[in-house]
Amino acid sequence: MGARIQLIAIDKKYKDKQVVRSVYLDVKPGDFLTILGPSGAGKTTVLKILAGFEKADQGQVLIDGTDITDAPPYKRNIGMLFQNYALFPHLTVAENIAFPLTVRKEGRAEIDRKTRAILERVKLTGYEKRLPRELSGGQQQRVALARALVFNPPILLLDEPMSALDKQLRKHMQVEVKEIVREIGITTISVTHDQEEALTMASQVCVMENGSVAQCADPRSIYERPRSPFIANFIGEANLLKGRIFEISGDRADVALEAGPSVRVSCDMIFYAHKEMVYVLARPEKIQVVEEPPAKGLCLSGRVAQIIYVGEAIRLDVEIESGETIKLKMLSKRSQEYSPGQAVTIAVREDDLALVKMEDRP
């Protein structure tokens, strides 16, 4: 059902600015890839090159091995959900959805059947005669999705799909859209700057920075083993502690932290060298306040600098002895009471630490 998408060495310049540089992507049939990055990272340009609205200066776009680099958008057979849905305001819901079928000159009966089927799928049966402006944001998005899927394309592109929705609806639609595309088995590429959305929806996340792909992996690997400080900070919150590797063997490295103690961190040896300066990553929710220092893992003592109550969780800023601030996040329990200035010992299990390269790229 879904098609394989390959981008090979894509370069794109606007005037003097290199917006996409040497991007390679290989998306397996049926995968859900999210391209994540801050604004200006080039992610939308990649999507436009895929859709055929922009032409790459260099490189190739392959769908199931067929080169479509020079094909115009209307010959690509790719469904696209636009940021503001781009519903045709003068056409009804049914006419909007039927558009890709009518331009393909399909028969009346066939068009009716497919339109009805897809409307049912996006739960909008009964809305056929409405105009787009008479629908809510969520309903408009469903219509746009139905329109992008009704002609059975092997590929679906989503451009910041949730940005026009409020937070509640956004979470709901993330799950719903994910479910629909999974059922159909269509290969999907989504572009977003919302890291939570990326982690929720995607089976593969590709982080872009300054026009290049910084890391491409499944959501868990990206979150737990980010390849650069940029990725670590962009996805979730990160405590990065500077240190030097003084011992490396097998899949473990011993790092002397500038903050004092040494820790053992699991890592992939081929990426790191003896005496290399690195960051040790500890995610805020992996850090705990402990009574007794544990035998293994990282242990630091410090003072509570700030306490922020965010409902289901408490966030603590702990200033450790070296002067750095460590962010903690823990579920709020009735028994927990912290006050500013209070001395605490914090610890992270060895398995919850990760090494991060100091430079962005090896």
Partner 1 sequence: MSAASKAMGAAPRALRPGWLLIPPLAFLVVFLGVPMLNILKLSLQVEGNWSLGNFTRFFSDPLYAKVMFLTLKTALIVTLSCLVLGYPVAYTMTFARKGARGLILIAVMIPFWTSLLVRTYAWMILLQTHGLVNRLLLDLRLVSEPVKLIYNSTGVVIGMTHVLLPYMILCLCSSMESIDKNLLAAGKSLGGRPFQVFSRIYVPLSAQGIASGSLLVFIMGIGYYITPALLGGQQDTMIAQLIQIQVGDLLNWGFASAIAFVLLAVTLLFLLVFKSFIRLDKLW
Select 100 or 243, whichever has its Cβ closest to partner 1: 100
- Could you say whether residue 84 binds partner 1 (CB under 8 A)? yes
- Look up residue 37 and give its amino acid: G
Backbone angles phi and psi of 182, in degrees to 5? -70, -45
User: Cα dist. 268→245, 279, 312, 348 in Å?
Assistant: 13, 14, 35, 20
Q: How far is the CB of 88 from partner 1 (least distance, A)?
A: 6
- Could you say whether residue 24 binds partner 1 (CB under 8 A)? no
- Could you say whether residue 14 binds partner 1 (CB under 8 A)? no
Select 144 or 282, whichever has its Cβ closest to partner 1: 144
Angle subtended by helix axes 137-149 and 167-184, to nearest 10: 20
Find the binder of partner 1 among 18, 58, 69, 77 (CB under 8 A).
77
**277-282 β-sheet, strand order:** 262-266, 252-257, 239-249, 277-282, 353-357
Q: Which residues contact 362 (CB under 8 A, 6 or more apart)?
A: 271
- Could you say whether residue 148 binds partner 1 (CB under 8 A)? yes
Q: How far is the CB of 159 from partner 1 (least distance, A)?
A: 10
Which range touches partner 1 (CB under 8 A), out of 87-95, 240-248, 266-274, 315-323? Answer: 87-95
Which range touches partner 1 (CB under 8 A), out of 94-102, 175-183, 249-257, 329-337? Answer: 94-102
Which range touches partner 1 (CB under 8 A), out of 46-54, 119-127, 284-292, 319-327? Answer: 46-54
- Could you say whether residue 72 binds partner 1 (CB under 8 A)? yes
Smallest Cα–Cα separation from 139: which of 180, 112, 169, 168? 169
196-215 in b/e form (b: 16+ CB < 10 A) is ebbbbbbbbbbbbbbbbbbb
- Look up residue 238 and give its amino acid: A
Residues in contact with partner 1 by CB under 8 A are: 51-53, 72-74, 76-80, 82-84, 86, 88-90, 99-100, 102-104, 147-148, 151
